[in-house]
Each structure stands twice: as C-alpha cells, then as structure tokens.
Amino acid sequence: MDNQNPAEVLPKLYRDVLDGVGRLERIGERQAAYEIRRKAQRAYSSRWDERARRTMDKLEHDARARLAANPHAAALGALSRSSEPV
C-alpha cells in the first residue's frame, strides 16, 4: 500500500476506520469511537496526501488495538461474521 497514491487508498482506509468506529460503538467504547471518528473526518476532509494516509493508517491501527483489548469485541465479531450471507 505504501507505493500507491494516497488518493487511491484513502477512501478504503476511511471506510475501514469507520467500520472500526462502528464496532467500538457497539461494544460501548463510545468516547474512543468519537475521538477516532473526529480525527478521521478531519484527515479525510483535508488534503489527500501522504500525511492523511499515515493518519488514517494510525487511526485504523488504534481502532483495531482497542477492539483487540476489549473482551466484548471478540464475541461481537464472532456474531457479526456468522450472520453475514455467504
């Protein structure tokens, strides 16, 4: 992903961050979700450059780390995967 133009990857990274934010909200981590969403919106609405890509990468990592640290996230993840159509 590092050799791609940030404008090509930023929309997917933003969607990934928002997916993580949604999962954080579902497990009750609303304050963390709010902060990550706010920072993601700021990065996404600014210049689509390498700095925005790095910021979005960090926010996605932060969301995943918070989810991994929460025992409720594992149960929620198992439930959401089992309900997706094949």
Residue 14 covered by a domain: yes
Reading the chain (86 residues) residue by residue, the pLDDT tens digits are 457 888 899 999 999 999 999 999 999 999 999 999 999 999 999 999 999 999 999 999 999 999 999 887 666 554 454 444 43
Q: Which pLDDT belongs to residue 71?
A: 80
Residue 74 covered by a domain: yes
Q: Which pLDDT belongs to residue 83?
A: 46
Residue 1 covered by a domain: no
Residue 51 covered by a domain: yes
Distances (CA, A) of 52 to 9, 20, 37: 10, 18, 14
Distances (CA, A) of 15 to 10, 30, 41, 71: 9, 18, 11, 24
Residue 72 covered by a domain: yes
Number of domains in the chain: 1
Q: What does DSSP assign to residue 4?
A: S
The predicted model scores a pTM of 0.79
